[in-house]
Amino acid sequence: MNVFKKLYKDLKRKYGPPKGQWSLWCKRPKTEREREKVLIGAILTQRTNWKNVDLVFRKLKGAKVVSLRDILRLGPRKIRDLIKPSGFYKTKSRYLTNLIRFVFKDYGSLTEIKKADIKEVREQLLKLKGIGPETADSILLYALDKPVFVIDEYTKRLVRKYDLAKELSYNFLQKLFEKNLRKDFRLYQDFHALIVIDGQNR
DNA sequence: ACCCAGGTGGCCC
DNA sequence: GGGCCACATGGG
């Protein structure tokens, strides 16, 4: 058994199924509404503590904003105020609105995007302002159930801790994980979630 | 009063 | 391609 698979098994044994926010992100299958929530969360959680993002979701719920349509209906100004606790709220409200417009304009729904070619969707996402490799891949993996391994700060710390690679570039690490694991979005979802949980557990 | 958190874009060299 | 900085809030 290779070291990647072993690390996954160890983390799984230590923490069990991912909890909290991750129970939604790793849920299978997801409803359209659940995919939308993951999509919103993928933007809001950029460089931000999940506690703050959760605060935003409670505010959104209180304002009866529970879908992508609701966000567009409210408009950028109101959304800006509602997402304040997640930080960087001016840029994030723009990023989020742009992303949602892209979803509706090019595909109509997340369920439709799910049927499209992964490569193509990834490239389209990366063209959007505010969506870099990690956010694009988080969307692909957790909102669209695509087998794409997400590399983030915690993943890099894990790589350093166990000396899994000398190079730490995004693309290199992503290929490394994907090469050493079976191509399975469920495995990728749980593994990455556990890496973050473990990283935050220090 | 610091310091941190699932990043990204825009500069500069 | 790499090094820096702005973006902002809530919690330890």
- What is the domain partition of chain A in residue ranges? 3-18+149-200, 29-143
pLDDT value of position A67 = 98
Q: Which residues touch strand C (CB under 7 A)?
A: A 47-49, 51-52, 55, 84-85, 87-92, 169
The gap from C-alpha A157 to its chain's centroid, in whole angstroms, comes to: 18
* Amino acid, single-letter form, for residue A46: Q
Write out pLDDT tens, residues A62-103.
Answer: 999 999 999 999 999 999 999 999 999 999 999 999 999 999
Q: From the CA of A147 to the C1' of C2: give the distance in Å.
A: 30
Q: From the CA of A52 to the C1' of B10: give the distance in Å.
A: 26
Q: DSSP readout, A20-59?
A: THHHHHT-SS--HHHHHHHHHHHHHTTTS-HHHHHHHHHH
- Whether any strand B atom is under 7 angstroms from the Cβ of A138: the reply reads yes
- Whether any strand B atom is under 7 angstroms from the Cβ of A197: the reply reads no
pLDDT value of position A1 = 82
> What percentage of chain A reaches a pLDDT higher than 90?
98
Query: Is the domain defined by A29-143 classed in CATH 1.10.340.30?
Result: yes
Give the DSSP letter of residue A102. Answer: H
* 89-108 on A, CB < 7 Å from strand B: 91
Q: How confident is the model at residue A202 (pLDDT cuts 50, 70, 90)?
A: confident
Write out pLDDT tens, residues A7-51.
Answer: 999 999 999 999 999 999 999 999 999 999 999 999 999 999 999
Closest protein residue to C2 (Cα–C1'): A169
Write out pLDDT tens, residues A103-154.
Answer: 999 999 999 999 999 999 999 999 999 999 999 999 999 999 999 999 999 9
* 165-184 on A, CB < 7 Å from strand B: none
Q: The pTM is what?
A: 0.97
